[in-house]
């Protein structure tokens, strides 16, 4: 767990290995992953923290959408876009609503 290979990422994301390599190079430069030639890609501590934050945002958006009656599959799909654009203020409002009984 906590590692990925270029070929697996390319297949999962539907992009070329060249695209993955370029993106990984930027992530290495910015301190989010570490890698060695012909080895798996690993999250750094900084990368792990960002991944956890992204996961929490996603879970909050999905939970909010589910709370207002959106079907689970649709909520998952919609959250993929919403979570990247939602402001901190709106996310906090979602969390306040979710903290109240249904």
Per-residue pLDDT of the chain (102 residues; tens, 9 = 90+): 568 999 999 999 999 999 999 999 999 999 999 998 888 999 999 999 999 999 999 999 999 999 999 999 999 999 999 998 999 999 999 999 999 998
Inter-CA distances, 82 with 31, 33, 57, 58, 78, Å: 26, 25, 10, 9, 6
| Residue-range definition of the domain harbouring residue 37 | 3-43
56 and 18 within one domain: no
CATH number at residue 73: 1.10.60.10
CATH number at residue 39: 1.10.10.10
Q: How many domains, the chain? A: 2
95 and 53 within one domain: yes
């Amino acid at each position: 767990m906590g590692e990925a290979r270029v070929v697996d990422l390319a297949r999962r994301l539907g992009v070329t290995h060249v695209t993955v390599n370029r993106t990984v190079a930027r992530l290495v430069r910015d301190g989010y992953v570490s890698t060695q030639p012909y080895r798996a890609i690993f999250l750094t501590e900084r990368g792990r923290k960002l991944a956890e934050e992204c996961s929490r945002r996603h879970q909050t958006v999905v939970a909010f959408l589910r709370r207002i009656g959106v079907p689970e599959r649709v909520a998952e799909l919609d959250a993929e876009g919403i979570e990247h654009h939602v402001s901190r203020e709106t996310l906090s409002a979602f969390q306040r609503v979710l903290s109240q009984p249904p």
